[in-house]
Chains A and B, each alone.
Chain A
């Protein structure tokens, strides 16, 4: 059964997008820039690297990959739910 509710679909997809972008902002400009010195001083080291420094140089990038994978999975599931799934 094909259900198409464009408005609801759009708000659901925007919600997913904004949630992921909030994480994106947190790990990159948040941990990597704005809170970096605080994190360096107050969080445990990663191996021997200060936490903020490590986030900026490695952690943020790993986080981005995870965000995109989550995005693809969540959006594809949303498509199926609203009947927009096409044969891949």
Chain B
């Protein structure tokens, strides 16, 4: 069987499982549509939440971020898991007690205002859309690799599948499908790591291998991280264990990711499917344990794949390079430009650059073009294929540095098993896992988005006499529209790097929902004026900053206090707090019954029912 056969076999089996589950649990009532009837067990809910939580960004992109940034990659590792702790401890038990289906619902009721609800819906839509764009991109990357097709077509295929089971099954179909997806993801992620750990460090536990010795190729064992640090510094990168981000940027990005996590509508809503407040706590523990299985493995994959990539390619003549290089060239994920015309692949870091602003770009990125572009298909062969047989790119080459190899960090996880020469079935399993990750999160996000529109916008604001059935129909229509838009942006994303796009979504959540929810839960005095002013200030500031630097060509020298767009959500969050507290101090306190409600949500018993199913 060829690799393609294995891939289709594994993916086909996993899809069959998902679709069967989705069809069998087809939702008909709105309660089932939104919260899966509310009686899911903590363990199952834990797995499903973990799968929902671990998106294409986590699965595919994060290990790549660690591979390329070393210590700096920890911002994603700590940010996303740490945020989960915040979520569990500060938000979920209280929101669960409150018992409403969505975050805008809580905001609308807690802040006794239709305007607040409307602003919350806008924020939810904005956040979810940004997040979904990243997922659709991830889906595209995976399918493109799988079928050897371009990313745009991959995005479209993936989008159709997401619509099918998310739109049909609602939350219930999604929950159990996600349990299955978690299992696929966990195996798909850890098995390659174990194999590679054995090859590189002679230890079948990747986490121990990472802190152990590099033993491949005989010779005296050298500590693995020392080897990696040396590999890096020899060719002009900073030490792997040091990274290169400033402490303040690292702090802000990590904090923004943590607070953003705690403000994410689609994760919060996941906990409404559990029986009561105490079950919520247990479910959250399980979720974090399941998440930790993967997050503790990601740094090992990052480190191993970096070693593999550099050892296998650096200073190797192109003609002798492994076969997978040509495959990745074909899908645009890797590119080689023979800058010094010696036929040998030379990899270098920014320190080797002779320019004033040190980078190791192979080609010069512009505001619109950040990935390789290629000559037209009908161009003469001499323009498409180089002297050594490499695929030529059409970008302007950056000759101020000697780095010749471009690789998209998003392929590190997928490329890892190929680079390490693992068996075909392992690669196929990983593919199935990548798809599971991308689809499960995209479905969850789509649901939140569609319910924001149908429940929070249509039913609560625009047309209160909507019947249950009509509401569900609106939800499905909204799904379809949202998916269309997300697909478009999956093809033309704000950042070619999935984890970065997702980080922006988190920054937006950190600056809008997190403060407003926290103040709503813990302060009886916070009123609607403060909340609305805060949300608007936070999200506008953050969104404008991101748009300016990602789309309008702002440069790093213009950063506020040296904080990049990835981290600006932290500042947006502080702004939200300040504005909200100030405005509410000058405006009337919330009515008595609202203040009582706030008291009430701190009492753990008597939460609204969750029905069995």
Contact = CB atoms under 8 A, between A and B. Distances in A.
Interface of A: 6, 9-10, 13, 17, 20-21, 24, 28-29, 32-34, 36, 40, 45-50, 53-54, 56-58, 60-62, 64-65, 67-69, 71-72, 75-76, 79, 84-86, 88
Contact of B89 (A10, A21, A62, A86): A21
B281 A53 contact: no
A57 B279 CA distance: 29
Contacts of B224: 48
Interface string B208-237: 101111000000000111100000000000
Nearest to B276: A86
B248 to A, nearest CB: 9
A13 B599 CA distance: 13
Nearest to B82: A28
B89 A17 contact: yes
B278 A57 contact: no
Contact of B82 (A10, A24, A54): A24
Interface residues of B, number: 51
A86 B89 CA distance: 20
B292 A29 contact: no
A26 B278 CA distance: 27
Interface string B188-220: 000000000000000000011011110000000
Contacts, number: 131
A64 B78 CA distance: 9
Interface of B: 66, 71, 73-74, 77-78, 81-82, 84-86, 88-90, 93, 207-208, 210-213, 223-226, 241, 247, 250-251, 254-255, 258, 275-276, 278-279, 281-282, 284-285, 288-289, 292, 295-296, 299, 599, 602-605
A47 B241 CA distance: 14
Nearest to B222: A48
Given A9-B602, A68-B285, 8 more contacts: A6-B599, A6-B602, A47-B211, A53-B241, A57-B66, A68-B89, A72-B282, A86-B278
Contact of A57 (B71, B86, B289): B71
Contacts of A60: 74, 77-78, 81-82
Contact of B602 (A10, A21, A24, A34): A10
A81 to B, nearest CB: 12
B152 to A, nearest CB: 35
A50 B82 CA distance: 21
A57 B79 CA distance: 11
A10 B523 CA distance: 13
B244 to A, nearest CB: 13
Contacts of B296: 58, 61-62
A81 B27 CA distance: 40
Contacts of B279: 88
